[in-house]
Amino acid sequence: MTLAEPPVTPTTLPEPAPAAEEHTEPKGLAIICYSGDLEKTWAAMILASTAGAMAMPTKVFVTFWGLQTFVRDDVRITGDNWMQKMMSFMQRPGISHRKLSKMNFFGMGPWMMRKLAKQYNVASPKELLEMATLMGVEFVPCQMTMDMFGIKREDLIEGMGDPVGAATYLSYVGDGAAPLFI
Amino acid sequence: MTLAEPPVTPTTLPEPAPAAEEHTEPKGLAIICYSGDLEKTWAAMILASTAGAMAMPTKVFVTFWGLQTFVRDDVRITGDNWMQKMMSFMQRPGISHRKLSKMNFFGMGPWMMRKLAKQYNVASPKELLEMATLMGVEFVPCQMTMDMFGIKREDLIEGMGDPVGAATYLSYVGDGAAPLFI
Amino acid sequence: MTLAEPPVTPTTLPEPAPAAEEHTEPKGLAIICYSGDLEKTWAAMILASTAGAMAMPTKVFVTFWGLQTFVRDDVRITGDNWMQKMMSFMQRPGISHRKLSKMNFFGMGPWMMRKLAKQYNVASPKELLEMATLMGVEFVPCQMTMDMFGIKREDLIEGMGDPVGAATYLSYVGDGAAPLFI
């Protein structure tokens, strides 16, 4: 999906937004995108893009392995010192390079999952991320993770918010946003 | 435990429900049952059945690997095409066939866990599921996961709700149910 | 960090607590510390200690593999029968002996993570636990897990609350605490 196309409603968003009519103040969603696994990335992106479509104010705090997902697909090695470089070498960053947490089978598992998704008209994690961003979902990177892994702003995809810490995330929750740790 | 027996209170429900007296409107619980691992299945079922016993309105949205847990124990292979069939072959579905995420040791870990549970009078995931259903907890399958894995209504255990999508889950949360991603 | 030192604000707590000023009643946080992996332990301790610093009333319900994290570092084997002893033998308990869920490389991954953390002035899980306890965060062990794994009060670190069950955890949530399953 490119941004110029008319928005295609994928089968992952099959229903009209029922929440909007039933109550007056949606307090929003505060997702911690912690995992870098393909299937959890998918789950986080489906929830984020659906929340965006339902006009729930949604923030996604991207941390630990999850931050690797938001490194640009064309960046191969990140970090300043050999430890940071080795970590990015062992686990290729980027949303298009996520692996399954199980049944990976040297890439065959993810290939099958992506093939099945296409067959059943389910949007890919990358497409869902683009949709979510278009619909106002804010993705914010964790400053501490950036420091520890040596990941810089220019390594990350465009459109992300300024790096923040756990206190900012908890302030969303303190203000009533529903927390999800994925 | 069969449904005809008088309800035995297991040691996993040792306390009287303190929440019922302390505040007037329990907003309920909205669990995402995402994992298919034995120990997380157990955690989800303990929380769901306890919430049911406390009369908290509780919905469990069953998705991704978690949906395999809700396939009937006597169904061995699910799916229409070879990829879906192979996935169910690699990971046997059904709540009685869950494996530990670590220390599985070709089935010895789960065997030990189940033996210890019986010894200390902890109900099994299957018993907890039956209890939760009896106490009004609603289990709803994820439509998208059913599509992708080729799992049909007749493959699933009895008593589940109609398949829904992420928007329905988020509407529970928007209405004030506390979210848990397990 | 020893408890006698003046509190050093680590880089994991970089911001002033924004939530305290913006709304009047922080309902608190109810964390389920479920995983025993190094990186999830870290995430749970960062959230707990930050919440403590923000004066959010915070309870951490320690259960399943997470309980092994709260066994004293000098206790090597826990349990009464051979199955319980073998489980603690296979997975060394204690917060200083956590392993990464992936890229463990026979201890090299955790060593690198701890080294990077020190280099970037990020407090260790053990330091964060001490900070959180000082700031009033309450850690409560799960009675059922203690029974199943044969872990006794004297095996656990000092300062934990009395063992409770899932009903007590859910009563926190019923009273408005925001739930996180980590």
User: For the segment A56-104, what is each residue's pLDDT rounded down to a tens digit?
Assistant: 999 999 999 999 999 999 999 999 998 899 888 888 899 999 988 877 7
Pairing status of strand B58-62 against strand A178-181: unpaired
Give the model confidence (pLDDT) of B14-69 as tens digits.
444 444 444 445 589 999 999 999 999 999 999 999 999 999 999 999 999 999 99
Mean of all residue pLDDT scores within chain C: 86
Amino acid sitting at position A45 = M
- Out of 3.40.1260.10, 3.40.50.620, 3.40.50.720, 3.40.50.150, the CATH code matching A29-181 is 3.40.1260.10
Q: Locate A12 and state its tokens.
A: 């992952």
- pTM for this prediction: 0.86
Give the model confidence (pLDDT) of B94-132 as tens digits.
999 998 887 776 777 888 888 899 999 899 999 999 999
CB C93 within 8 A of CB C157: no
Q: Which residue of B has its CA nearest to C102?
A: B102
Tell me, letter by letter, the H, E, C secondary structure of C24-63: CCCCCEEEEECCCCHHHHHHHHHHHHHHHHCCCCEEEEEC
Q: A147–C13: do the CB atoms touch at under 8 Å? A: no
Q: Touching A: which chains, 3+ CB pairs < 8 A?
A: B, C
Burial, B103: exposed, middle or buried (Cβ in 10 Å; 0-12, 13-18, 19+)? middle
* Contact status of B181 with chain C (Cβ, < 8 Å): yes
Min Cα distance B125 → chain C (Å) is 14
Min Cα distance A5 → chain B (Å) is 23
Contact residues on chain B for A51, CB-CB shorter than 8 A: 170
Give the containing element (helix H, strand E) for A181.
strand A178-181
CB A167 within 8 A of CB A18: no
Surface of C (116-145) touching B: CB under 8 A: 143-144
Q: How far apart are CA A179 and CA B30, in angstroms?
A: 12
DSSP 3-state assignment of B82?
A: helix
Q: Render each residue's pLDDT in chain C as its tens digit; 182 residues.
A: 444 444 444 445 444 444 444 444 558 999 999 999 999 999 999 999 999 999 999 999 999 999 999 999 999 999 999 889 988 888 889 999 998 887 776 677 888 888 899 999 899 999 999 999 999 999 999 999 999 999 999 999 999 999 999 999 999 999 999 999 99
Of A12, A23, A39, the CB nearest to B165: A12
Min Cα distance B136 → chain A (Å) is 22
Residue spans of beta strands (DSSP E) within C38-182: 58-62, 138-141, 178-181
CB atoms within 10 A of CB C146: 20
B182 vs A182, B32, B64, B103, C182, CA distance in Å? 8, 6, 11, 19, 8
pLDDT at C19: 45
* Contact status of C15 with chain A (Cβ, < 8 Å): yes
Mean of all residue pLDDT scores within chain A: 86
